[in-house]
């Protein structure tokens, strides 16, 4: 861990050779008046919007929408199946069926999914749009669209993988978020925060060179509205992953036959774009994890590698220095456009030889292994944050 002490608050970095843009953003955060103790950068840290991806902060009395991120509730889930072997032919059939039942990229379901799959309105027994609109205007206005988006993967670095663990079992892993619902909530409340900061002469963009650090006091209506809608998006993102996992399990049963392959009741789920009230160093603070996951002592989590490299089931060590957090993945080392321009397609295909779903075109290089940090280095840099329980090697992958 490296410590930077040049700013108002210290910056603790578990990443080596962190890019200049991310360091600049970390310094902006460290100079905010409501930061508790210090700012953290996980081993997968890289520049984001306002706050780096792989950043963790604890704030006193305020919430920063862009320190949560636009894909609210984005996260990982994994299920260990009872299978110990699976053939290439079975994998191909299963992946083909998954593609038929789970839309990827910008695609949605052609029909609205059952309303009972949606999260309930907090403090209510209802799922309905009518009740949601009363409590949460943005989620309410997006409700009908969300009914076609639940159970869909999304684009970018979202993925579905079938993996073989060093425990001898076949695993299923999903990385996905809250789709357009979270995006709309994030954008709306960031604009509200910017307007209020200008009104209060707390002009974060002017003072810190970023337009992504506007905040909402927790004790305002706007702050409470954001927290409520954020939590609904976190719940929706989980519901989204659960529906996909159910349909993947159905694909396994149809291809391999009925059997006790695993259950979503045994699912490991961990979000990496959210904020929660937690007690650290004797104070109740709002911990923002943007591209970072909770790693409290004994908590089982997931740290995926890049496309074609190992992923890990881990156990948190509860390190207080990181606000009990760890990385959410390998972390990008180059942007998508740079990856397409600089990476060699044949070389990336060779890295993924034997894995179904390897890059086929130059455009696929956006998510190729070479666009990401070495997951082995990332795991080495956070040995004081988590311990590895299971290493998972990819057998087949579907990218968003």
Residue positions annotated with a catalytic role: 328
Half-sphere exposure at residue 360, Cβ-oriented, CA atoms within 13 angstroms: 5
Both structure tokens of 158: 């979202």
User: How far apart are alpha carbons 300 and 317 in whole angstroms?
Assistant: 10
- CA 28, 54, 376, 336 dihedral sign is negative
Give me the residue label for tokens 């399990």.
249
Report how far apart, in Å, the C-alpha atoms of 360 and of each of 202, 356, 397 are: 49, 11, 13
Give me the residue label for tokens 């209802």.
126
Number of H helices, E strands in the chain: 11, 17
Angle of helix 179-199 versus helix 221-256 axis, rounded to 10: 170
Report how far apart, in Å, the C-alpha atoms of 317 and of each of 6, 50, 254, 322, 331 are: 29, 29, 39, 10, 21
- Strand residues in the chain grouped as ranges (E): 2-4, 11-13, 35-46, 53-59, 62-63, 75-80, 159-165, 170-176, 216-217, 268-271, 273-280, 283-290, 292-294, 300-303, 311-316, 325-327, 386-399
User: How far apart are alpha carbons 155 and 152 in whole angstroms?
Assistant: 10
**Percent helix, strand, coil in the chain (nearest 5)?**
35, 25, 40
8 A C-beta contact, residue 132 and residue 82: no
């Amino acid at each position: 861990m490296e410590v930077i002490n040049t700013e108002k608050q210290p910056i603790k970095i578990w990443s080596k050779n962190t890019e200049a843009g991310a360091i600049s953003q970390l310094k902006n955060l460290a100079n905010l008046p409501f930061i508790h103790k210090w700012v953290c950068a996980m081993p997968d840290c890289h520049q984001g919007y306002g706050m780096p991806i792989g950043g963790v902060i604890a704030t006193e009395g305020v919430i920063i929408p862009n320190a949560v991120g636009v894909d609210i509730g984005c996260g990982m889930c994994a299920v260990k199946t009872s299978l110990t072997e699976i053939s290439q032919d079975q994998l191909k059939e299963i992946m083909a069926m998954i593609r038929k039942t789970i839309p990827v990229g910008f695609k949605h379901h052609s029909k609205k999914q059952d309303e009972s799959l949606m999260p309930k309105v907090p403090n209510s027994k209802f799922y309905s749009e009518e009740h949601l609109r009363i409590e949460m205007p943005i989620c309410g206005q997006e409700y009908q669209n969300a009914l076609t988006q639940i159970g869909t993967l999304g684009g970018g670095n979202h993925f579905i993988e079938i993996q073989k663990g060093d425990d001898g079992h076949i695993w299923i892993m999903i990385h996905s978020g809250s789709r357009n619902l979270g995006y709309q909530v994030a954008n709306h409340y960031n604009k509200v925060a910017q307007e209020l900061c200008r009104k209060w002469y707390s002009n974060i963009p002017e003072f810190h060179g970023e337009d992504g650090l506007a905040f909402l006091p927790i004790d305002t209506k706007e702050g409470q509205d954001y927290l409520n809608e954020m939590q609904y998006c976190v719940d929706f993102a989980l519901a989204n992953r659960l529906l996909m996992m159910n349909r993947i399990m159905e694909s396994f049963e149809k291809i391999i036959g009925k059997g006790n392959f695993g259950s979503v009741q045994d699912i490991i789920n961990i979000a990496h774009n959210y904020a929660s009230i937690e007690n650290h160093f004797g104070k109740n603070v709002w911990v923002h994890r943007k591209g970072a996951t909770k790693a409290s002592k004994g908590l089982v989590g997931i740290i995926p590698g890049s496309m074609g490299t190992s992923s890990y089931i881990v156990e948190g060590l509860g390190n207080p220095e990181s606000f009990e957090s760890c990385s959410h993945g390998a972390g990008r080392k180059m942007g998508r456009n740079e990856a397409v321009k600089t990476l060699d397609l044949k070389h990336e295909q060779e890295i993924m030889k034997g894995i179904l779903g390897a890059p086929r075109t130059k455009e696929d290089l956006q998510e190729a292994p070479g666009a990401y940090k070495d997951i082995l280095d990332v795991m080495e840099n956070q040995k004081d944050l988590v311990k590895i329980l299971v290493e998972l090697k990819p057998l087949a992958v579907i990218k968003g």
